[in-house]
């Protein structure tokens, strides 16, 4: 899945810096991975992978990531939509109040649609549907579109988007989709204690991320991450970003001032 390549995610293990795991992944799913927030011990991961994974795979089914989301009538938008943050990025959230239902939440050009049915809603757990579109990261250079259903850290809605590792609520059904403007969309389903769920979900060719084979394990997040590369901030008609030009001009100005001071001395 994803870009159809092998991925080695190697990391040092430093919990205090949120460096908590590593993994070896293939287009067919995870081969082996390690996640540990409780100790400072690392772990060596070994796995055998195909050096040419695409040659051994059936041609991937073409996915139109916005087909479903742009053709349906939007689900009811809750009046209680609120703003929250995930890693400094401002999301629009709406709470999943009922055990089952269909919701829509939007931000700018992106609308995220969710249909779901819980086996049993735990009273001490709160889930929200969130939408984010825009530049993200410390330097705000990468353009992302994100649809996510996630568990909040506590029942206080101000904690939605904060890191959480455990969950008890299971879903009998979920279907997540969005009006993505890019074809580069990557699905993710995380279960309690940060476990992946290979074989437990699938992407339908009309762009929906759905569960399969019955009820899920306890869910932390169900997400679709879209990367709109041509909207990254360093793209422009000249090929150079405005911020890069600004930094260059400041550097030149400082150099001129420094040279003037040297001449005066």
Same domain, 94 and 109: yes
Whether 232 has a pLDDT exceeding 60, the answer reads yes
Considering the domain architecture, whether residues 109 and 210 belong to the same structural domain is answered as yes
Residue 116, φ and ψ in degrees, nearest 5: -155, 160
Same domain, 56 and 178: no
- The pLDDT confidence band at residue 244, using thresholds 50, 70 and 90, is low
Once rounded to an integer, what is the mean pLDDT over residues 235-256?
Answer: 57
At 120 the pLDDT is: 80
Q: Rounded to two decimals, what is the model's pTM?
A: 0.79
Q: DSSP string of 102-159?
A: EEEEEETTEEEEEEEEES---TT--EEEEEEEEEETTTT-EEEEEEEEEE-SSSSGGG
Number of neighbouring beta carbons within 10 Å of residue 220: 23
Same domain, 203 and 88: yes
212 and 93 housed in the same domain: yes
For residue 241, tell me if it sits in a domain.
no
Q: What are phi and psi of 4, to 5 degrees?
A: 75, 30
Helix, strand, coil share (%) of the chain residues, nearest 5: 15, 35, 45
Kindly indicate the confidence band of residue 76, based on its pLDDT and cuts at 50, 70 and 90: confident
Tens digit of each residue's pLDDT (9 = 90 or more) over 133-180? 999 877 768 999 999 999 999 999 999 999 999 999 999 999 999 999
Residues 131, 200, single domain; the answer is: yes
Regarding whether 69 and 28 lie in a shared domain, the answer is no
Inside any domain, residue 44:
yes
Per the structure, the complete domain to which residue 86 belongs is given by: 63-231
Distance CA 174, CA 217 (A): 12
Tell me, yes or no, whether 46 and 137 share the same domain.
no
- For residues 145 and 106, membership in a common domain is answered with yes
Mean pLDDT of 111-125: 92
Q: Which of 98, 120, 104, 94 is nearest to 218 (CA)?
A: 120
Which residues make Cβ contacts (< 8 Å) with residue 185, sequence separation at least 6?
Answer: 63, 65, 145, 207, 224, 225, 226, 227
Q: Which residues pair with 174 in a beta bridge?
A: 116
More confident of the two residues 5 and 234: 5
Same domain, 136 and 106: yes
pLDDT band at 37 (very low <50, low <70, confident <90, very high): confident
């Amino acid at each position: 899945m994803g870009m159809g390549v092998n991925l080695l995610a190697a990391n040092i293990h430093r919990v205090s810096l949120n460096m908590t795991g590593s993994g070896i992944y293939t287009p067919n799913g995870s081969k082996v991975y390690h996640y540990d927030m409780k100790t400072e011990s690392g772990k060596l991961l070994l796995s055998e992978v195909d050096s040419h994974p695409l040659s051994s795979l059936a041609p991937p089914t073409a996915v139109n990531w916005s087909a479903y989301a742009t053709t349906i009538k939007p689900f009811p938008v809750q009046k209680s939509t609120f703003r929250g943050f995930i890693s400094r990025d401002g999301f629009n959230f709406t709470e999943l109040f009922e055990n089952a239902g269909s919701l829509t939440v939007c931000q700018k050009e992106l609308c995220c649609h969710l249909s779901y049915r819980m086996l049993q809603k735990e009273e001490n757990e709160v889930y929200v549907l969130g939408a984010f579109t825009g530049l993200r990261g410390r330097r705000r250079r990468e353009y992302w579109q994100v649809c996510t259903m996630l568990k909040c850290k506590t029942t206080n809605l101000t904690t939605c988007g904060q890191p959480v590792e455990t969950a008890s609520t299971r879903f009998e059904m979920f279907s997540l989709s969005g009006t993505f403007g890019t074809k580069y969309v990557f699905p993710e389903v995380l279960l309690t204690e940060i476990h992946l769920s290979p074989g437990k979900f699938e992407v339908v060719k009309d762009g929906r991320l759905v569960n399969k084979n019955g009820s899920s394990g306890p869910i932390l997040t169900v997400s679709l991450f879209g990367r709109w590369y041509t909207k990254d901030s360093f793209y422009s008609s000249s090929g150079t970003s405005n911020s890069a030009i600004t930094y260059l001009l400041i550097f030149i100005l400082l150099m001129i001032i420094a040279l003037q001071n040297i001449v005066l001395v």
